[in-house]
Structure formats: C-alpha cells, structure tokens
Amino acid sequence: MERSEAGYERYRLDSGVYQINFGFRNFGENEADWFSRASDSESDWQTPFKFDYDHPAVSQFEKLLFDGLQDFNNPEAIKVLTERLGKLIKSLDVNDPEFNNSLSDIVTSGNGMCDAKSVLFGSMLARNTNLEIQAITGQYGQVQDKVTYPFSHQWMRITDGNNVYLFDPMYEKLAVFEQDGEAFYAMDEQDSHFTNLTPACYPAGKLITQMGIQRWGGVRVVEPYDNGGGEVYVDNEESLPIQLTNNTAFSFEIEKEKELEIYNGAVKTGTSDTSLYFPVKGFQQIKTE
C-alpha cells in the first residue's frame, strides 16, 4: 500500500481474483461535494448540492417535520415521519423535474422529484436522529440486457439497528423489515415495490474502467438506453437482499499488477467538482495466479 495526498490510499494488487464489498453512500457525509442528479443536463452534474440548513425556509421545514418527535428507533416513528414528509412535499408542490441546487431550492421553488425528495428527507434524518440513512440510485424496473428507457430513480435505506426501512419518497412507499442477525422479515406488504427497483453499482463501474477489468462477478454491465458506454447494476435476483444488507459484493480478476485507489475508506466516483462516496465494507484476495 502507498498513502498519498488528501486521504487517498493506493494498494498495489498482484494478479489474481479479488472481492470488494461496497455500501451505498451515506447521507450526512461528504456534503461539501455531494452529487445530486437534479436534472438530465450533464452541465448541472458539475455543481455541488448545497445543504443550506440555516435558510429560513429549510429551518421551518425541519421544524415541521420533527415537531413533537424524540424517539426515532421504532417503526411507528418512521411511519409518522414519512407521512409528514409526504404532506409537506404536497403542500410545497415539489414535483417539478427542473434543476435544484440546494435544500432551499427544493422547499421554496418546488423543483425536484425523486432525487430532491430523498436528499431532503435523508439529510434531515441524518442531522436530527441517530438513524443510519443511505441513498440508493438505480433504475425503476428490473434491468435486463439493456436499459430500455431513461428512468433513473433514487430511493432510500434507513436502519435503527433493529429494523431496516426501504423508503421511496417519490411514490410514498415504505417497507419495514425486522432484522434478526442476517435474516430479514417483511412486516408489511410493501416489499414488492422494492423488488422492482434495481440499484446501480457505480463503484464497480469505476474499478472496471480504472483497472481495465475484463472478468467480474456480482454485477452486470448492460447497454444504456442512449447506446453510449456501459452501465453497471446489481443482479435482479440480488436487488432486494443488497438493499436490505447495504452490501454489494463485486469480484474481479486481474492478470497483471494493478492499483486500487481508496479515498477515506470509500471508492470515490464522479467529477472533480461533484462526487459520490461508496464505503468499502470488505476487501480480500480469494485466488492467486
């Protein structure tokens, strides 16, 4: 391993087969260069999202969302919060797919759809509770050999340590799962919505490109709807388990020495101005050449 500037760690890997495990990106972390796909204009992706919590409209939204609630470690509280979010979103008429650049943009202009609603709720939860909250980005629908329509989607994973909640603020769907060790038990009938969502795996795509990987497992590279490059997604049958565990296992083979770059414990993707950070949850060599 070689450590370089600004928190980067570079690992020299010999030829062999490796497995690296990723988590989804965490709300409440790396907010200075947070990537928010707020529109389909590529130029908008270069602008970091602003978490302007001190804006009067944002402060008022925050107050209304959490008013009277103190204990958040139970399904009842999470259901109250998601219902309140839905009512507040409707009162603000947040349903416009135009570009937004900040929390205040969302709550004052009504601009934003799935990404805006999840970043608004996720950042508020991370700021006001001890819950763990992740952003999940992918496709609405199961991905086959090709993405046949440009329906990028974002939803959320929330956990209180005993339960895992999958929440889609765009469609107001909340599924509650009781966790018992490595097992998860659905507590309602909303889980079917999330089996039809497919998480993307940006960090695997980054490593495939960066390291020139030709053979891999655990993810699928498919042709995007615009025929440009490739997009990486988890396998459809693993979609729900990965959402619940917050753990994507990506295996790959290299035939000669390569360099793996980690930034503060995460694989960093994106641009020089906006980034996505996917925590590394495990890494091992599983076969030597």
Give me the pLDDT at residue 275, please.
86
- pLDDT of residue 154 exceeding 80, the answer is yes
Q: Report residue 224's pLDDT band, with 50, 70 and 90 as the boundaries.
A: low
Average pLDDT on 252-270 reads 89
CA 81 to chain centre: 20
- pLDDT of residue 37 exceeding 70, the answer is no
Amino acid letter for position 153: H
pLDDT tens by residue, 108-118: 876 667 888 89
Residue 131 DSSP SS3: coil
- pLDDT of residue 174 exceeding 50, the answer is yes
Q: Report residue 132's pLDDT band, with 50, 70 and 90 as the boundaries.
A: very high
Tokens linked to 179: 């966790």
Give me the pLDDT at residue 65, please.
93
Give me the pLDDT at residue 173, please.
92
Lowest mean pLDDT among 72-81, 143-152, 237-246: 143-152
- pLDDT of residue 243 exceeding 80, the answer is yes
Instruction: State the Cα–Cα distance between residues 82 and 121, nearest whole angstrom.
Output: 9
Cα torsion 183, 187, 189, 195 to 10°: value is -30
pLDDT tens by residue, 61-86: 999 999 988 889 899 999 999 999 88
pTM of the model: 0.89
- pLDDT of residue 206 exceeding 50, the answer is yes
Give me the pLDDT at residue 76, please.
92
Amino acid letter for position 39: S
Give me the pLDDT at residue 117, please.
86
Average pLDDT on 141-146 reads 72
Query: Long-range contacts for 175-182 (Cβ within 8 Å, ≥24 apart)?
Result: 176/75, 176/78, 176/79, 177/244, 179/244, 182/245
